[in-house]
Each structure stands twice: as C-alpha cells, then as structure tokens.
Chain A
C-alpha cells in the first residue's frame, strides 16, 4: 500500500513539479550566455530543415483532402466560390498548427527522447559535464530554441503547401488559375486568424522539446529505458500539445474576440 501510494499519488505530482522546474530552467538558461549558437543551428537543421519534406508532403495532401471535403459540403449550397477562403481559414486557424505539432511531435519528440536517453544511459551527459560543458544548456536549451523557432516556420510551410494542394484539387475540377485562387484564399483571413494560429506553434515546439528532453534526461534502466523514453516522449508531448491547444484557443478567443465569430 505505501508503494502504491508513493507510485500513483506522490510520484506524479513530484514528477510534474520536477518537469516544471526543468522547463523553467530551460527558459531561464535560454536568455543567459553562452548561447550555444552552433549547436542551436545544428538542431535547427535536424529539427527544422529535415522536417520540411515531411511537412510539405503532409501539407499538400491535407490541402487536397480539405479541398475535396470542403467542395462536397459547399457544393450543396452553390457556394463553391468560398472553397479557397474556407480551406485557407481552416488551415491557418487550426489544421496547419495542429498537424505540424503532431508530426513534429512524432518525428522530433521520439528522436530527442531516444538521443538524450541514450546519452544518459551511456553516461555521455556526465562526460559533457566533466568537460566543463553545461550539459543542460548544450542539450536541452538548444533543442528547445530550435523547436520554438522551427515550428512557426514549419507551420507556414504547411499552410502554403496546403493552399497549393487545395489549388491543385480545385484546378483539376474547375480549372481555376493559381493567382485567382491565391487571392481568393486570403479574402476573408484576418491577422487575428493568421498570427495567433501560427505563433501558438512556438508553444507546441516548447512543449515537444521540453517533454522529450525531460524524459530523455530522466531515462533509466539501460537501453530498454531509452525506447520507453522515446515512446513516452511522443505520447506525452502529443497529449500535452493538444491540451495546450485547447487552452491557447480559448486564450486567443479572449484576446481577439472577433476570431471566435
């Protein structure tokens, strides 16, 4: 009974508190030199650049699918002209950020969790510390900054490839020109749709990077623990990101009431 109590009642809040402290330390360290720019650039390459093909392909496919679904719905009411605007609004507001968050969570979360977990169990982290390198700043802050910077960019890539995918699907049916489609796409999009939707992915990036780094650096039980950390990173990062999205949407509605209409 005491073991059950310690494991399921005391341990979770303690781990959550530890994670919060971990996250707060990461934020604080992000603004303190040295900034480890070279490692941050390397992480941007790994997390951002190498994710572009995945995001672009997914965005293109999502654009096509959204266009087809939107057409099927709007065609009943003779409102096909609204397809570009409706698709763009859906992409910019919610679909793009969420899909990017889930994809990055899967690809980057698993990678960071496994990489840091392996470094932890093979005592490479201790070796960094022995070399007078701030392992937390070198391993966690750089990944966090890279994720925060990469996520809005990847979301933008997702939005535009999604619009292109929607145009491809639309022009295959109606023959609409790209310029016409592109101008119609932004006809009803407001700054309050575009900016909050894109910038909230920085929070997604922060959650993904911190969750994966925390679970990776807390890895135990050897290589088996590495795999478990990778899996937990993806699952927990995705769940936290979705939960955070609910809060963020509510927050955006509060700050920008017109977006709720």
Chain B
C-alpha cells in the first residue's frame, strides 16, 4: 500500500473524527459545556414535558437547560427542577424571579421561562431556589377555550337581541326626529314671522320712546316738569334699555335659528347635535319673545305710556268701551279699513251653546282677508263682533263669541300676531253696515293702517261702527 493511499486513509479517519467533534462541540455549546454557568432550582406541581436537557430561557433568551427533576417523596409536595443557567445572566435572576413552564408554540417543545426579578431583590445564589409556575395543559386550554367560546356565543346572541332592540328604537327615534324637525320648522316659521313683526313694532316703540324721553328730559310738557324726580327718570331709562336688550336677544335668537336651519340643510352626520342646537335656539327665541311681550305689556300698562300705545295701536281693548273704541276712528294718523262678513253662513252652534266656524266660513273669511293682505301685516286688526236678536246682554255675548271664533282662525291661519289682533264686541248696532238698517249679524274685520304707510290711491276710511 503506497503513501498516497495511506494519506487518504489518514485524511478519512482524521477528517471523520474532526467532523464528529464538530457535532459534539455544537451540542456542547448549546448545553453550555464551554460556558460558565450556575445552578438554580424551581419547584413545580406539574412537570409535564420537562426532562433533562429541556431548554431554559430568561426573558426569551436561551439561558441554559434542565439538569435534573427531583421527584417529591410525598403526595402534595412539589417537584424540584434543577437548572443550569449561564453565569453572565445571574444578575437578572433574582430571589423573586419566577420560573414558568411554557410551550414553544402549539407544537413546539416545552421550555422553562425564567422571568427577571425586581431590582430590589438580591441575585439568586448558586443552587438557590426560585418560585415555579405550573405548566398550562393544552387540555385545560381547550376546555377554557370551549368555555370562552360558549360565553362569547351567549354574549353574541345577547348582543344580537340588543342590536335588534336598538335598531327598533333607532327607527322610532328617526320617526320622532322627523316629527320634531317638522315641528321645529313650523315653530321656526312662526317665530321668524312673529319676531319680525314684533321687532318692527318694538323698534318703532323704541324710537318713539327715545324721542319722548328726550322731550321729557328737556322739560317739555307737564310730565317733563315731573322729571325732577330722578327715580321716575331712571325707571324710564331702565325700561328702554331693557327693551333694547330684549330686542338684541330676539335678534341673536333669530340668527341662531337661521344658522340651525342652514345646518339642517346639509347631509351632516351631526344632525342630532344640530337638532339639539335648533331646539335650544327655538327655546331661546321663545324666551326672548316672552321677555319682549312682557316688557312691552309692562310699558303698555304704564300710566304714562298707555295713551301713547293706544295711539300706536297697541290697544288693550279690554280697557276700552265701545264708545272709546269708536273714538279711535277719528284719529287721522290711522286709516281704518273695514270688511263686513255676514254671519248667516259663517257660524254654527256647537255643543254647550258655543259657536264655531261653519264649514264654508273659511272661504268667506279668506275672501275678506284677501282685501287686507295688501297692507302692512303689523297693522292692528280688530275683529268687531255683531249679533242680532235677544236682549243687549245676549247680543253682546253672541257678538263676543262671533269675534273670538273669527280671531282664532285669523291668528292660526294667517299667523297674525296675537297682540296685534284683538276683538271688540259691538252688539247689533252697526253704522255703515251693508244691511242698510244700521244692524249687523256677523263680524267686521277692521284694520288700522298707518296713514303715512298707505300708497296712493288711498282707500276710503271706514267710519265708526
């Protein structure tokens, strides 16, 4: 056998042994045979899957392996697992560290995970013991998963029922919202038209009041001389300022209503919030209108301004007798326009002696109002009630009922401002009525239009009833 062959044999043997040694080194390296290490123990009640050589990790880092599993001597005692851990990881293994048996994935091998201890605890000594947490059995997990699934299924069914109920409620809410929006729209229309009329009137009142106060402050007239009384002056100025503040509130409320209406127009997902805004704005507008009405009413009832308001048309008709009412027709600053409406087909007797409008009354009243629609809507309108038959008391009561029924319709159908629409039961005497005999059964719609606001040719003024 020649040298080359011997060399090949030597190569085969030595190379094979080296390769074998590489395998040994790789395994030994994984088993920390060439690394400084220390031993630590942990006790477990269940050591499923743990055997000699089972991997040990510290916070996920390969740290060592299991050296031995000591079997307890008595039932109830715990297994003690002795582990070999890299020495350089000892600072992380503290006396309060916890060892847990985990599985590397569903199919992976079992390993022991050591959780780093707290900084306050001391490092574990060589051969020291730490607390162990038992392994989680797959069967337990499956059982727990089954229970969880049942719970989730039950919750899901409950949720579905709740969803059904919620959807039903949502449908009702949408219906209610639609109705509310419709209602708000009607309220807004009413408030907008009413507030415009009231604000115009209030603006005029303020201008006149301011002029009057200035005259009084300059000492004109008897009252002017009374202005030495500071309390009265202060009261007047306060009333004016309060009215101005009320007007500003009305204006702001109207602006809010407009903004809310604009926002209602868009397909915004914040409809609900806007609806709330609109409702709030409407409420503010109502409050402001109420304040204005109260303040205006207060001014009207003030002894100093009652006449003034009477001249402006803000009559408190309850305080006027029929003769005083007839006196108003002599005031040339206003042109009274009267439309006579026959009551024969206008009313019908309702239960309990009340009188309501007959089915054909609406058309007749609309025809009558058509003649007055060309004049400013803020002109005071007085529904004069007439009735024939019976004693004067009965005629008065009947006339009042006629006037009330017609006024209610006008306020409702023509959005007349209630404070600018009054009633005056006259009775049977009706000077200038179409009947020709000075008597009338029905109503007369008398509108007091400011003479300076009439356009030529001016209509003929009606005479006193």
Contact = CB atoms under 8 A, between A and B. Distances in A.
Interface of A: 38, 41-42, 44-45, 48-49, 52, 74, 77-79, 82, 92, 149-150, 152-154, 156-157, 159-160, 182-183, 185-192, 194-195, 198, 258, 261
Contacts of A77: 105-107
B51 A52 contact: no
A78 B104 CA distance: 12
Interface in B1-52: 1, 5-6, 8-9, 11-13, 15-17, 19-20, 22-24, 26-31, 51-52
B17 to A, nearest CB: 7
Nearest to B52: A258
B12 A194 contact: no
Most buried by B among A150, A153, A182: A153
26 contacts: A41-B9, A44-B12, A44-B13, A45-B9, A49-B9, A74-B107, A77-B106, A77-B107, A79-B105, A92-B23, A150-B12, A153-B13, A153-B19, A153-B20, A156-B20, A157-B19, A159-B23, A160-B19, A160-B23, A185-B26, A188-B55, A189-B26, A191-B24, A191-B28, A194-B24, A198-B23
Given A152-B16, A261-B51, A186 B9 contact: no
Contact of A194 (B8, B23, B29, B109): B23
A127 B20 CA distance: 41
Contacts of B29: 186
B51 A41 contact: no
Nearest to A74: B107
B16 A187 contact: no
B20 A152 contact: yes
Most buried by A among B27, B30, B107: B27
A92 B53 CA distance: 17
B108 interface: yes
B1 A156 contact: no
Contacts of B23: 92, 156, 159-160, 186, 194, 198
Interface string B50-80: 0111010000000000000000000000000
Contacts of A49: 8-9, 11-12
A45 B1 contact: yes
Contacts of A187: 30
Contacts of A188: 55, 109
A153 B8 contact: no
A149 B9 CA distance: 11
Contacts of B107: 74, 77, 79, 82
Contacts of A185: 26
Nearest to B25: A186
A30 to B, nearest CB: 17
A91 to B, nearest CB: 11
A64 to B, nearest CB: 20
| Prevailing SS type, chain A contact patch | helix
A156 to B, nearest CB: 5
Contact of B17 (A38, A153, A189): A153
A10 B386 CA distance: 152
Contacts of A78: 105
Interface string B93-127: 00000000000011111000000000000000000
Interface in B218-246: none
Contacts of B8: 45, 49
Contacts of A258: 51-53
A217 B53 CA distance: 48
Nearest to A52: B12
Nearest to B12: A49
B229 to A, nearest CB: 98
Given A189-B27, A191-B27, A156 B16 contact: yes
Nearest to A161: B19
Contacts of B26: 182-183, 185-186, 189
A190 B27 contact: yes
A153 B9 contact: no
B66 to A, nearest CB: 10
Given A41-B1, A49-B9, A156 B19 contact: yes
Given A186-B30, A187-B30, A258-B51, A48 B20 contact: no
B31 A191 contact: yes
B9 A48 contact: yes
A38 B1 contact: yes
Nearest to A40: B9
List the 5 closest A-B pairs by CB distance, nearest first: A153-B16, A186-B26, A49-B12, A156-B20, A42-B1
Contacts of A82: 107-108
A186 B27 contact: yes
Contacts of A182: 26
Contacts of B9: 41, 44-45, 48-49
Contacts of A154: 16
